[in-house]
Every structure is written in structure tokens, then in C-alpha cells.
Structure 1
């Protein structure tokens, strides 16, 4: 019981600290200046897409951070157990080298955050950079034969990395940064009225609420067509979740060009089948089956055995 109480207090304290950071408006000025600098340093286009993790289908940053964390943790293990000093020094160096691409992808993701998420991300990055400095100093000390100093600096770096890691988890699991924003939306499994067919004009998307969830409707071709998967008229209409999977932008407010729609918030581009054509989004837009009957557009989601969608969530 004592252990449980202490753990609960520690968790509550950590949440309180995170809350203070979330509300620290004083961080907005430095964040804005760093954002301007990062925007100039990080080129757009394919580079940003790769840094976001578009080819991977998930954010790349969480994958890369495992490399420096694992290397530095292993180095400390060797230090504390009297292991090979040369191996420990090399692990510190490996952590430093792999921390650079991890930092670049982290900054790239941070550029599309705002308010509380941006503040927490800034402190998360600051702790990681402080850890990188500590590990750099540790490597230098080890290279010059000052092993004890190198070990102490590594331990300091590990403490900083642990704090940064906790904030990284808070960003993802408490604030939802990097999470598909449609993950908990429950779209109808049965044919459901969405709008009147006359409401649509070609190339002009609209937003219809279907079962409490905003759905984008778009006519992409002239005249009626037939969906070969269910043999019904679709009227050349596509339907997908209106909330962008990246940061929740309203897609129906975006530009339609060449059969693709661009999110007005951060420029993610999606094809008519929901696939990502340009980041920073990494997850595709959920699409719905469409039919037109009696002049009414009806939609339903494909079969989807995802338990976390059982509780309906709207916009």
C-alpha cells in the first residue's frame, strides 16, 4: 500500500509539472523564434515527408529515439556493472550519432503543434539537447582517460533523457500528438443518410454530419457511376472522414485539385481513396462506401473490428 501511495503521488506530481509547462505562456516567445529558424533550416517537400514518416505510414520520430536511448542505457549498464570501458564509450558515441536524426524528426513534428503541445514539446526538446551535451562531454572525458567523470556525466544525461522521455510520452498519450485524430470516431456500419444529392457540385466538397461524425462528401466525376464492390450507383461521389488524421483540420475547407484534397491546416494531401499523397500526415483518411438512392446520398463504413471505435466520438 505504501508503495502504491508513493507511486500515485509521483504520478500526480509529474502530471502537475506537465500542467505547469502546458500553461507556461512565457515559452511562446522562444518557441516562435525557434519555429521561424527551423522553418528556414528544414526544407519542404520530400525531406519533410520523410522526416514525418509518410513512407513508413506512422511517425518516424518514435522509431528513431529508441536508438540513442538504447545506446546510452546500455552504456550506463556497463558503467555500473564494471563492464568494458571501450564498449561503453562506443555506445555513448553511437547514442550521440543517432540522436541527431531523432532530433531532426522531432523538430519536424513539433513545427505543426500549437499552444500546450508546442510548450511541452519545447521543454522535451530542451531536455534532450541538454542530455546530448552531457553525453558529448562524457565521451570527451572518456577519450581523455577521465572515466569517473565520464560515468557521472552519462548518468546526468540519462536523468535528463528520462525526463524528456516522460514528456514525450505525455505528448503522445495525454495530448495526442502523433496519434491518428480519427482513431476513436465511430462511423456507421449500416447505410445512413448523409445529404441530398443536389447539395453537391463537382469539385466542391461539403461536410455532412453522419451519426455525430463529420464526413466529407465530394463529387469527383460527372454523371452516375457504379461501385463494382456493391453494385450500387455512387453518382461519382466519394466520402471520407472530414477530420484530418494529422491534427484534425477540416478537410472540406481545403483545396481540391487533380482528384486530391489538401488539408487547410498543415497542407497534408489525400487522394480520393484516403491515401496520403503528401505529409505531414502519415495515416490515411478513413473512407466510407457510398450509394445514391432516391436522390439521397447514403454512406457506411467498411467492416472494421477495432474495439476502440465502439464508443462513438464526433468532431
Structure 2
């Protein structure tokens, strides 16, 4: 199976299609409220994995009822298939929003993941129609095949998360120092210009705001982008140069997705012309 996935990761022929689709999704989800709602910043982690449990669970239970319920369970299994179809809609939108911010091998695997999921959903729709017309046996077969397609798509989704690290907090394993660590001279900080330093090997971004110096981890939690190369906004946020995630300088909160995890904040101490930081 890993050989197949590696082949998919190398299918550069998918790039024109995935690039066009990702650009369209980015336009649709560009408004801050839309992006934040779909990314899951308000939840503290990505929303898509949680929503996928609804269609997968409903379709799995429909197949179980088909196997043990016979004709008595026909109406229940049809309703479960319908619940799964309805649940697939928000799951698909959140997944598309997350996918549009990927690139390269991750975007290729994500496209195949989406196509396979779509095939599984269409089979479930066909199953629901067949059941509605009284063809319970046909509906059961279509549901079982559709569930198989959804399972294959779920495997690809697991690969993206657990192997490729898509959606994983990229600061989770940083061993930040709890003691004050000298990182820079105060005169080296220019108003409104982010500066990248290191505290015990951990990248930190310093930003001078008048008499204050604010500090966040320099690695974007979303995909590891360099925040110190980003843009400072008028509302005291920094925007990641890779995918446009915005974090508040004061507390690291996500102001705009696709990031869903806040940026780690550092305490800053100014003394004798030097800047020291430690984890908050």
C-alpha cells in the first residue's frame, strides 16, 4: 500500500487539475469568517477529522443493520445512509478548505483522497435511491461498496496526517526553555520588523511595538512556515507567508485560518540592553 501512495505522491500530472481546484476553493473560502469556521480555529484543532466520523459511522452502521436486520431493518439502514450523506457535505467542505492550503505530494494524495471519498458518497446516494424504491438488496450492496471506497479514502487521509504531518501542530515537539535565555541586543530590533532568533535551539520571532517587545514561536503551527518572514498587520497580527494564517502578537491566538492551533507565546525581559525570553 505504501508503494501505491508513493506513486500517487509522484503523480505530477495531477498538479494542473489540483492547482486549479485549490485556487477555486481558496477564492470561495477567502473571507475570514468562512476560513475560520472551516479550519476549526474556534475549536482548537482541525474540524474536518471530527466531522468525518458522522458519515463513516452512519454508513458503517447501515451496513451492519443490513447484515443482521434483514427486511425489518430496511428503513433504519436507509435512514442511516441518509444521515451519512447529509454529514458528508460539511465534512467535504472542511476537508476542501484544509486541502487547498497544501501543495506538492500532499496535495496530490489529497486530491485522490477527495475523489475516492466522492465516489463513496455517490455510491451511498445511489444506495439511498435504490432503497427508497424498495430495492433493499441492491441498496445494501451499493452501501457496502461505497463504505469500502470511503475506507480507502480514510487510509489516504491517515497517511496525510500521520505520515506527511498535514494538520499536525508543527511546534508540538519543540523543547522550549523555561529559564530566561539571552537571544539578542535590544538595539538590533527595528520597530515593525520581525527578527528571528533562537532560544536553546528553538526559533523565536521578536517584534518591537513601541517600548514593548513581543515574542512568538517563529514556526507556524499550521505547516511550519517562517513567521519572521511574514507580514505584520494593522491589528497587531503576523501573517504567515506560506498560507496566510494570522496570529495575534499579544497572545498567539488564531485570527485567521487555515491554522487551527494558537502560536506559542514567549515572555520577554529587557535588561541592560539585552533581550531575554522564556516560555510562558
> Which residue does the alignment assign to 2:216?
240
Equivalents in 2 of 1:102, 1:184: separation in Å? 28
Aligned length: 276
| Aligned pairs for 1:272-311 within 5 A | 272-302=250-280
| Pairing 1:263–2:240 present | yes
- The structural deviation recorded for 1:259 is 2.0
> Which residue does the alignment assign to 1:23?
10
| Pairing 1:49–2:27 present | no
Which SS does the other structure have where 2:268 is aligned? Answer: strand
Equivalents in 2 of 1:241, 1:137: separation in Å? 49
Which SS does the other structure have where 2:69 is aligned? Answer: coil
Equivalents in 2 of 1:189, 1:280: separation in Å? 29
Equivalents in 1 of 2:180, 2:26: separation in Å? 45
List 4+ stretches of structure 1 deviating above 6 A: none
| Pairing 1:75–2:86 present | no
- The structural deviation recorded for 1:42 is 3.7
Which SS does the other structure have where 1:290 is aligned? Answer: strand
| Pairing 1:215–2:204 present | yes
1:97 to 78, 86, 94: 86
Equivalents in 2 of 1:125, 1:275: separation in Å? 30
Which SS does the other structure have where 2:255 is aligned? Answer: strand
| Aligned pairs for 1:125-204 within 5 A | 125-204=114-193
* Aligned-pair Cα RMSD in Å: 1.3
Kept after mapping to 1: 8 A contact 2:22/2:101: no
Give a deviation string over 1:64-98, Cα, whole Å, max 9, x none: 10000010000000011125110000000110111
TM-score under structure 2 normalisation?
0.95
Which SS does the other structure have where 1:82 is aligned? Answer: helix
Unaligned runs of 5+ in 2: none
Equivalents in 2 of 1:18, 1:41: separation in Å? 29
- The structural deviation recorded for 1:221 is 2.2
- The structural deviation recorded for 1:43 is 4.8
Unaligned runs of 5+ in 1: 1-13, 223-235, 303-315
Which SS does the other structure have where 2:2 is aligned? Answer: helix
- The structural deviation recorded for 1:140 is 0.8
